[in-house]
Chains A and B, each alone.
Chain A
Amino acid sequence: MSSVVHLANNYIYIASFTLFLIGFSILLLNSNLIKKIIGMNIMDTSVFLLFISQGYIKGRKAPILEGGGSVNPAEYVNPVPSALILTGIVVAVSVTAFLLALTVKLYNLYGTVDMDEIIEIRRSVDGNS
């Protein structure tokens, strides 16, 4: 019984870990490059979800100042994780953009986006080259 209660109030951890594992396995096991990139994004979003959920305090507002009044930190949620995740998102976007650019180049060079086929072609080319 206590484990169910334990799971109940840690649902954030469960959600982010399952998402992480899904993304991890897609990125690792799938041979299609586009699917790999999608898997990578799922993995990154799950980590961002966990990171931001660490900063959430029940019953408080989002950390945006209206009209520059006096700032009482007690009313607001912890802003640090969301600021960090901005950088995290930028990093994830740039890695995705780089991977997409490489996929386009690979498609032009090999005519396919599937890593296994690419390895076959290269091995057959290397074999007789």
Chain B
Amino acid sequence: MIEDNDIILKQAARVLTPFILIYGIYITFHGHLTPGGGFSGGTVIASSLILNRISSGNHGSGPEIDRMMGIASIALVCYGLIKAMGTFFPDFTHRVLPRGIPGDLLSGGAILPLNIAVGFVVACVMYIFFCLIGEEA
């Protein structure tokens, strides 16, 4: 149903998506330094995915949802495991994920991987929501 005269939309989307993605990733990775983190970063990433989906037409999303669900649950499992590491083997996390110097990227100990996992989860779930509700309409 998307005729070819929507070239402008497609081109704009192709140009904008990388910048939105980088911005989202920046927010996720700097969660422990600047405001933001997993949740807000994830939503920004999701918005780029959704932009891409709209611009390239609302084609069938069955397999896509399952793939996204898979990614989300893998990310959740990693989140759970890292948390479990923190609880059961406290000294282990210090050795693997150093506290580092406050202020630079790797300083947050376990917070960084957790933020990344949460970012993935939120992005995938938001995208799945959009596909489901988009499909219904």
Contacts and interface: CB of A to CB of B under 8 A. Distances in A.
Direct contact of A and B (CB under 8 A): yes
Given A90-B39, A97-B129, A104 B102 contact: no
A108 B133 CA distance: 11
Contact of B136 (A90, A97, A108): A108
Interface in B90-131: 101-103, 129
Contacts of A90: 39
Contacts of B133: 101, 104
Interface string A63-100: 01101100000000000000000000010000001000
Contact of B101 (A68, A97, A101): A68
A65 B102 contact: yes
A116 B54 CA distance: 36
A95 B35 CA distance: 24
Given A97-B129, A104-B133, A68 B39 contact: no
Given A90-B39, A97-B129, A68 B103 contact: yes
A71 B51 CA distance: 42
B112 to A, nearest CB: 16
B33 to A, nearest CB: 9
Contact of B102 (A68, A97, A101): A68
Contacts of A68: 101-103
Interface string A1-41: 00000000000000000000000000000000000000000
A90 B35 CA distance: 15
B103 A67 contact: yes
Task: Rank and list the top 9 A-B pairs by shortest CB-CB distance, nearest first.
Answer: A68-B102, A68-B103, A104-B136, A104-B133, A67-B103, A90-B39, A108-B136, A97-B129, A65-B102
Interface of A: 64-65, 67-68, 90, 97, 101, 104, 108
14 contacts: A64-B35, A65-B102, A67-B103, A68-B101, A68-B102, A68-B103, A90-B39, A97-B129, A101-B129, A101-B132, A101-B133, A104-B133, A104-B136, A108-B136
Interface of B: 35, 39, 101-103, 129, 132-133, 136
Given A68-B102, A101-B133, 12 more contacts: A64-B35, A65-B102, A67-B103, A68-B101, A68-B103, A90-B39, A97-B129, A101-B129, A101-B132, A104-B133, A104-B136, A108-B136
